[in-house]
Chain A
Amino acid sequence: MSVNKKLDRTPLYKNHKKIDAKLAPFAGWEMPEMYGNILKEHLHTRSANSIFDICHMGEFIIEGKKAEKDLENLLSCGLASLGSGRCRYGFLLNDEGFFIDDLIIFKYSCTRFMIVVNSSRITNDAEWICSHLSTSTSFTNISDKTAKIDLQGPLSFKTASSVFPDIEFVVMNRFAFIEFEYEGIKLTASTTGYTGELGFEFFMPPESAVTIWELLLEVDSVKPAGLSSRNSLRLEKGLPLYGYDITDKITPIEANLERFVNFNKDFIGKDALIRQIRNKPARILTPFLCAGRSTAREGFTIYKDNKPAGVVTSGVFSPMLNKGIGLAMIDQSISAVGTIIECRKDDTKINAVIIDLPFIR
């Protein structure tokens, strides 16, 4: 395979190089994969707090008097019941109910919203959204003008309060956001993330990213963590990853994510989802726990009674459980908790059991 396109670099590239981060291509970006030790980065995030360079992700602003109505139609999650200054997890679906993307929507007011999307989906999402907006609704892709740093872990609130002492972070519940200024830098902080821990996502102009990154790193308990530990952190909490666990060939019903779909309103894909619920989906995304340290990874085939019955969509070694964990798209008939399955690839056979989420509390 040859890659001709030059990889994009985040504003924090030089900071990563300085401390010998291992960089790797991800969705067209040269991203920090790790800073020396993935397991330690994972465990440090669970016990203290870490910062992640997430500048590659996409951000859109949607504005106008019909913005809320347009977005209600586009998204699986309800917006009428969402207060200003709150965020919600939801999906963009096509007419067949398949995922275009999963996202977080930020509500500033009924006429102004921000959507945070996966970097690999920015172009598809933008096209889809723009083709479904009223003429009075404006769409702005601010991805290039927005840097994002995630601070994640149980000490996040303490860290944020010490770095920005004038801000009352303690009043924020999960899935809330505030805008504030720090020494002339305009920031947005949301109590969201992709590790299952308490924490923040900080949005800022790219030219201020280095300042904020270095400011956070000055706190003794804060260490940088890369995308590899972010992946094991999200999977331990059962959070799906677009392109792996959820794709444009999978619906939220099959992905067991029905709770993020509001059926009390109309939205694109709703009819397809209702049909699928009625007919019962043939397959379902299901968590499994490996018998030991050996881990069934993406692409392993699931067997039950020597018959193929699914495929692993994500699999990692869980540093908290010291066992392999993963998500698999399997036949509904073998999805009961406690079912023993076998994961196979080439000569490797790994025993596992179907369990319930989350893998860790």
Chain B
Amino acid sequence: MLPKELSYTREHEWLKVSDENMVIIGITDYAQEELGDITFVELPEVGQVISGGDSPVTLESVKAVSSVYSPAAGEIIEVNSRLDDEPELINESPYTDGWIFKIRITGAMITPLLSPGEYQEFIDSLD
């Protein structure tokens, strides 16, 4: 089940938007399933300023290497440093302990945000 309080992207990321343009970003259960066991997470520096569409995070899994994109321009406020030693948190709890980074956004979203229902429809159409 997709958590109702989150928004989703077609890049299989989830966003938790809170006040003051703070957004927490992670990858969806569908994405972690596709990647397989995640073995390494390259996290950005806190304070790094990025543009929308940049990929501040690289995920390595037993099967592939993939990027996590930022849906908007902004500044990295916090990263989940537990992932340095426990990258498997993304596989085990992608929507909670496996969150990846927090960003203060300063620009518009460059990718449409999907509701849980819309994202579910999107992944159903992929299979």
Alpha-carbon separation in the docked complex, A295 to B61 (Å)? 9
Q: How near does chain B come to A65, taking the closest CB pair, in angstroms?
A: 49
* CB neighbours of A286 from chain B (8 A): none
Q: How many pairs of A and B residues are in contact by the CB < 8 Å rule?
A: 34
Q: Produce 1/0 per residue, A24-56, CB < 8 A to B.
A: 000000000010011100000000000000000
* CB neighbours of B53 from chain A (8 A): none
Q: Are A297 and B36 in contact (CB under 8 A)?
A: no
* CB neighbours of A316 from chain B (8 A): 62
B51 within 8 A of A: no
A348 within 8 A of B: yes
Q: Produce 1/0 per residue, B55-77, CB < 8 A to A.
A: 00010101101000000000000
Q: Are B87 and A38 in contact (CB under 8 A)?
A: no
Q: How near does chain A come to B101, taking the closest CB pair, in angstroms?
A: 17
B78 within 8 A of A: no
* CB neighbours of A38 from chain B (8 A): 36-37, 62-63
Say whether, besides A293-B87, A348-B58, A228 and B63 are in contact (CB < 8 Å). yes
Alpha-carbon separation in the docked complex, A317 to B60 (Å)? 9
Secondary structure of the B contact surface, majority rule: strand
Alpha-carbon separation in the docked complex, A292 to B58 (Å)? 14
Q: Are A37 and B60 in contact (CB under 8 A)?
A: no
Binding site for B on A (CB under 8 A): 34, 37-39, 228, 232, 292-295, 297, 316-317, 324, 348
5 residue pairs A–B, Cβ–Cβ below 8 Å: A228-B62, A293-B87, A294-B60, A295-B60, A317-B62
Alpha-carbon separation in the docked complex, A34 to B37 (Å)? 11
Q: How near does chain A come to B34, taking the closest CB pair, in angstroms?
A: 10
Alpha-carbon separation in the docked complex, A46 to B36 (Å)? 20
Alpha-carbon separation in the docked complex, A38 to B42 (Å)? 21
* CB neighbours of A228 from chain B (8 A): 36, 62-63
* CB neighbours of B63 from chain A (8 A): 38, 228
Q: Produce 1/0 per residue, B72-92, CB < 8 A to A.
A: 000000000000000100000
Q: Are A39 and B62 in contact (CB under 8 A)?
A: yes
Alpha-carbon separation in the docked complex, A317 to B42 (Å)? 15
Alpha-carbon separation in the docked complex, A293 to B60 (Å)? 9
Q: Which residue of B lies closest to A290 (CB)?
A: B40
**Other-chain contact of A232, B40, B42, B62, B87 (Cβ < 8 Å):** B62
